[in-house]
Amino acid sequence: MSKLTLKTEGDTHIVVTRRFAASPEAIYRAHTDTKLIQQWLLGPDGWTMPVCICDARPGGKFRYEWTNGKVGFHITGEFVELRPYSKIVHIERMYLPDPTPDNHVETRFEPDGSGTLMTMRMTLPDPQTRAAMLATGMEKGMEASYIRLEGMLRVAA
């Protein structure tokens, strides 16, 4: 049983939801504290994040660098809005090595019973970017890179 949902919305959005058995405060901290981020935002087995810079305040910048020992890549971004402990809005792009178009990400943490429901809504500039993100970024196992093309896979079923 999976607790994760991934779906596309319209032509440019991707929405991910996940429930956690922890308070919104703890999850918010795990998204903004570098020592915590480095422990989980790693994608597939074998990847580490040797560089994790995160200035979690409006206008603050972040930079995450991943490596699997052989190759690496990084993303940079800026925080737009931070509402402890319920909402984070940021913009990010990946370097492959050229920067990808900006991905606008809104992450919400809502109390849900004794835990928290996280909803991450990404907005890409256009459908082509969303498709390209699927075809390149997702294999890196990044937060911004996960999706299920719900509609198209449903039609294939």
Partner 1 sequence: MDSLDASFAALADPTRRAILARLASGEATVNELAKPFKMTQPAISQHLKVLEDAGLILQRVDGTRRPRRLAKSGIDAMDQWLAMLRKALEKNYDRLDQVLAAMESNKEGKRR
- Radius of gyration for the alpha carbons in the chain, expressed in angstroms and rounded: 15
Show contacts with partner 1 in window 23-42 (CB under 8 A). 26-27, 29-30, 36, 39-42
Closest CB to partner 1 among residues 94, 147:
147
Options 15, 89, 96, 138; binder of partner 1; rule CB under 8 A:
138
Residue 71 sits in the site that holds partner 1 (CB under 8 A)? no
Q: 22 near 31, Cβ under 8 Å? A: no
CA gap 3, 17 in Å, rounded? 8
Q: Kindly tell me which of 3 and 57 has the beta carbon lying closer to partner 1.
A: 3
Least distance to partner 1, CB of residue 119, Å: 13
Using left for φ > 0, alpha for ψ between -120 and 50, and beta otherwise, residue 119 falls in beta
Does position 146 interact with partner 1 (CB under 8 A)? The reply is yes
